[in-house]
Amino acid sequence: MIPYCSICWDVDKVKLLDQRRLPAEELYLEITDYHEVIEAIRTLAIRGAPAIGVAAAMGAALGALDLDTQNPGEFLSRFEKICAEIAQARPTAVNLFWALDRMQRLAQAQAGEPVAAIKARLVAEAQTMLKEDDTTNRRMAQAGQVLIHDGQRVLTHCNTGALATGAYGTALGVLRAAWEGGKRFSVWVDETRPLLQGARLTTWELGKLGIPYTLIPDGAAATLMHQGKVDLVILGADRIAANGDTANKIGTYSVAVLAHHHGIPFYVTAPLSTFDFSIPNGDHIPVEERDAEEVTHLWGQAVAPAGAPALNLAFDVTPNNLIAGIVTEKGIMEPPFSSSLKPYRPTQE
Ligand code: MRU
């Protein structure tokens, strides 16, 4: 059992592990106001696509609890506005919009009920989403662990563990299940500039799991692949288009091109809630651009001359032809993804 959780609901508040402070400090924020949830998502106190989804749902539940009307019609229209505000927190991880949509549909379906009953259903739904994420991740992990073999050296990028989800993790969940199943392997951890999710978070989680790892600068992956020291790449996703094009942390595309060049299998792991079947390909994925200061500074310390122009794209899109398979809770999807994913497209599409 891992003695931490990224996010949970505690009676009438949200508790979340402040990932900005890791690995130096394990500090839980206690939040009762949905505006603070938005801030936590925006500033990456909570991050990773599935965790952002759960946080958005819990933020919406907090917002609902605060509404002081007894009129269901007024409640619903004010709740819709709260969800629209939360939806502005970050643009790329589709789980955020998926979760808010689910909360809004539930509220609409309860329109004939007293406001207190709708509020209770919304709070319960947010908690259900957290539990479902745990179950989904464990299913993905079981499906994906067949990819991992004794002696492999696996490379991963960004952070995809329990911290990035409701529990267990996506790509790190696959590694965890393989490890717990007795397989012995090691992990190359990309540091993941500029916010160092690999260096700060993935190392922290692998350490707690007892899985051997070596931290590397992002630029070292090419050389390690050339030297034959990488057997498999596995990482997560923030949004996957209907054709399998995958948005993930900036630098993922470079790793995919390198893996392709060196003939190394490149796998993505993501729940179906990370798929956006409304867009045909990755060109339609909105890529978040964050403050340039995250590139020019490290922990408030300038690492570039004052005023140096910098571009901070938080994600990139890996084209589907570079992806060997996508691990989901329904099994490993193989190319061509538009065919393998077809049974899982929502029926209304
Ligand atoms: O900016 P972040 O830290 O939210 O980016 C997270 C990632 O890119 C993860 O790889 C992705 O969300 C998969 S998480 C299971």
Q: What is the mean pLDDT of each run of 10 residues along the chain (349 residues)?
A: 87 97 97 98 98 98 98 97 98 98 97 96 98 98 98 98 97 98 98 98 98 98 98 98 98 98 98 97 98 96 97 98 98 97 82
Question: Is residue 139 within 6 Å of ligand 1 at its C-beta?
Answer: no
Question: Is residue 170 within 6 Å of ligand 1 at its C-beta?
Answer: yes
Total-model pTM: 0.97
**Which two three-digit tokens encode residue 185?**
């392997």
pLDDT score recorded for residue 346 = 87
- Could you tell me if 178 and 145 are in contact, meaning their C-beta atoms sit under 8 angstroms apart? yes
Burial of 132 per CB tally in 10 Å (0-12, 13-18, 19+) = middle
- Could you tell me if 126 and 61 are in contact, meaning their C-beta atoms sit under 8 angstroms apart? yes
**Which two three-digit tokens encode residue 232?**
């498999």
pLDDT score recorded for residue 95 = 97
pLDDT score recorded for residue 348 = 58
How many Å apart are CA 77 and CA 151, to the nearest integer? 56
Q: Determine the distance separating the centroid of ligand 1 and the alpha carbon of 303, expressed in angstroms.
A: 24
Q: Where are the alpha helices (DSSP H) in 234-342?
A: 252-261, 293-296, 337-340
Question: Is residue 238 within 6 Å of ligand 1 at its C-beta?
Answer: yes
Q: Determine the distance separating the centroid of ligand 1 and the alpha carbon of 44, expressed in angstroms.
A: 10
Strands 325-328 and 315-318: unpaired
- Could you tell me if 229 and 262 are in contact, meaning their C-beta atoms sit under 8 angstroms apart? no
Q: For ligand 1, atom 8, name the residue with the nearest CA.
A: 249
Active-site option among 238, 245, 276, 316: 238
**Which two three-digit tokens encode residue 53?**
């989804």
Question: Is residue 141 within 6 Å of ligand 1 at its C-beta?
Answer: no
How many Å apart are CA 158 and CA 18, to the nearest integer? 17
Q: For ligand 1, atom 6, name the residue with the nearest CA.
A: 48
pLDDT score recorded for residue 349 = 46
Q: Determine the distance separating the centroid of ligand 1 and the alpha carbon of 142, expressed in angstroms.
A: 21
Q: Is 190 among the catalytic positions?
A: no
pLDDT score recorded for residue 1 = 53
CATH number of 144-344: 3.40.50.10470
Q: Determine the distance separating the centroid of ligand 1 and the alpha carbon of 243, expressed in angstroms.
A: 20
**Which two three-digit tokens encode residue 238?**
């923030």
- Could you tell me if 16 and 28 are in contact, meaning their C-beta atoms sit under 8 angstroms apart? yes
Question: Is residue 49 within 6 Å of ligand 1 at its C-beta?
Answer: yes
pLDDT score recorded for residue 347 = 76
Spell out the domain ranges in the chain.
7-138, 144-344
Strand order in the sheet with 213-216: 213-216, 186-190, 153-156, 232-235, 266-269, 325-328, 331-333
For 321, the enclosing helix (H) or strand (E) is none
- Could you tell me if 188 and 213 are in contact, meaning their C-beta atoms sit under 8 angstroms apart? yes
Burial 67-86 (b: 16+ CB within 10 A, else e): beeeebeebbebbeebbebb
Q: Determine the distance separating the centroid of ligand 1 and the alpha carbon of 115, expressed in angstroms.
A: 35
Question: Is residue 328 within 6 Å of ligand 1 at its C-beta?
Answer: no
CATH of 7-138, one of 1.10.10.10, 1.20.120.420, 1.10.1740.10, 3.40.50.10540: 1.20.120.420
Share of the chain residues as helix, strand and coil, in percent rounded to the nearest 5: 45, 20, 40
